[in-house]
Amino acid sequence: MKHIRKQIILFLVLAGIVSAQTIELNGKKVNIPRDEVVLEVSGLVCSFCAIGLQGGLSSLQHIDKKKYNDGVFVDVKYQYAVIAEAADKDIDIEKAIAMIVKSGYEVKTVFTNRTGEKIETRKIERKKDEK
């Protein structure tokens, strides 16, 4: 019985590691499962900003509209957006970044967990000619 209990605990720990990993973003722990993209966005100041950004990002292809609000969650307080991807489909991150920048916000970092095993972090450098 003791052996089975240890196996169950080990399985649950490993399942948690594989299915989602956690980062700390602006003071908040954020889980990043395999089918989500997290973008650190600066300049969000109100819920109206969040609603507008959600609407724009939810129009991207390969969004899982069953999650969040049409596939997108925006956190104004901690300055990030989560995009839920459809199963076995990847969103075009460059289009998402362009949409956010065109809306007047800055994307600082993009976090993905494509394999479910490791979070990939990509810092976004703003070009000198961009405001």
What is the total residue count of the chain?
131
Q: Please tell me whether the overall predicted TM-score, pTM, comes out greater than 0.95 for this model.
A: no
pLDDT value of residue 18: 45
- The rounded percent of the chain whose pLDDT value lies above 70 is 81
Q: From CA 72, how far away is CA 36, in angstroms rounded? A: 10
Task: Identify whether the C-beta of residue 23 lies closer than 8 Å to the C-beta of residue 111.
Answer: yes
How many Å apart are CA 63 and CA 78, to the nearest integer?
22
Domains of the chain: 2-123 (3.30.70.100)
pLDDT in tens, 82-127: 999 998 889 999 999 999 999 999 999 999 998 888 889 999 987 5
- Phi then psi dihedrals of residue 122, to 5 deg: -130, 115
Q: Which of 27, 49, 22, 25 is nearest to 104 (CA)?
A: 49
